Amino acid sequence: MSIKSIKTGWTGISALAGNPVLGDFESIATVSVGAGGSSTITFSSIPSTYKHLQIRMIQVSSSPNNAILARFNSDSGSNYSTHDTGGSGASTYSEGLTNRTYVPFGYTGATYVAPSICDILDYADTNKYKTVRTIGGNDANGLTRYAVFQSGNWRNTAAITSITLTHGAAVNFAEHSHFALYGIRG
Amino acid sequence: MPATYEPIGAIKVLGSAVSNITFSSIPTNYTDLILVCNIYPNTNSSNMRMTYNSDSGSNYSVTYLGGNGSTPESGRASNQTSMDMAYLGSNTWGNVIIQIQNYSNATTSKTAISRSNGSSVLTALYVGLWRSNAAINSITLTSSQGSNIAVDSTFSLYGIKAA
């Protein structure tokens, strides 16, 4: 492809710290929501061969400004805790919640698709609880929407083999929502 | 599993400062784009602004959350001719990583998340919207507030493909 820039000529590969080497980042599975929508997104039979997982999504629904709720290995117990901070475009908030039945994986969007990127660290390590982090949000051209940082903890040392996502308002993820699971080698 | 996260192109500013940089002819065979930037505004603290496909219409908007060292802040701007993706300090290196998701589909509006660290002014999260269903084939980043992008600033574009 052609790369054009005024007064530039450098076309080498970036040496910035943290850039991956091809082969370190692999696509595991993808869910594209079709007409009629879907109330639940599940990634199951996740292989344990990676160091970390990442879920990249866009989603749209009839109900904005709710958390996307994630559970691991179908655990619906009060074994999760969360912290998040966000901005609505007019104000900010921060909260911490204990003994939840989920961790947050972004904020839901309406009218326009909302992006989220969720990292699950050391998901297959059976010596530690599991921690996650998310950046996400939604913009809807002047409507109240949020930009958010979220983190979560699952008090379980089991390897994560499945991830289930639901909408915080218990409505469907609408058509064109897209969820992609990746594995990162380490 | 198919490996992904591939470098598409890279730009380094050489010789003298520039007002903008452009990645053009972006291939459509990925799902997401990631743009990693290390930027030095050469005069004033500056918003780094992004547009797609040379669209200069009022089709962009953004919501952000940031911290300036003393208080958290949040703001939004609608019907803009570009999206702010960072606020960077003058004569200071700042880093910005922009995630542009599902950039090549022709069925949804386009959204981006930017994590920016303007080390002397603001660390922030921006969520941007382009109200167009067109596939993104070019990205332009522009400095503002009278600043240019200084020599040695770097921009690296990557593609990620979902299976």
pLDDT in tens, B3-24: 899 999 999 999 999 999 999 9
Please tell me whether the interface predicted TM-score (ipTM) of this complex is above 0.85: yes
Whole-model pTM over 0.90: yes
Closest Cα of chain B to A25: distance in Å? 6
Give the residue from B62, B64, B73, B74 with the most A CB atoms within 10 Å of its CB, the best one to mutate.
B74
Kindly tell me if the per-residue pLDDT of A12 is higher than 70.
Answer: no
- Assess B132–A contact: CB distance below 8 Å, yes or no: no
Q: Which distant-in-sequence residues (6+ apart) come within 8 Å of A17 by Cβ?
A: none
- Assess A118–B contact: CB distance below 8 Å, yes or no: no
From chain B, the residues in CB contact with A133 under 8 A are none
Kindly tell me if the per-residue pLDDT of A20 is higher than 60.
Answer: no
Instruction: Enumerate the β-bridge partners of residue A173.
Output: A38
pLDDT tens per residue across span B28-79: 999 999 999 999 999 889 999 999 999 999 999 999 999 999 999 999 999 9
From chain B, the residues in CB contact with A114 under 8 A are 111, 127
Instruction: Enumerate the β-bridge partners of residue A95.
Output: A84
pLDDT tens per residue across span A68-109: 999 999 999 999 999 999 999 999 999 999 999 999 999 999
**What distance in Å separates the CA atoms of residue B82 and residue A139, rounded to the nearest whole number?**
14
Closest Cβ opposite residue A5 in set B5, B21, B63: B21
Place of tokens 């989220």: A116
**What distance in Å separates the CA atoms of residue A13 and residue B5, rounded to the nearest whole number?**
13
CA-atom Rg of chain A in angstroms: 18
Q: Exposed (0-12), middle (13-18) or buried (19+): which is A97, by Cβ within 10 Å? A: middle
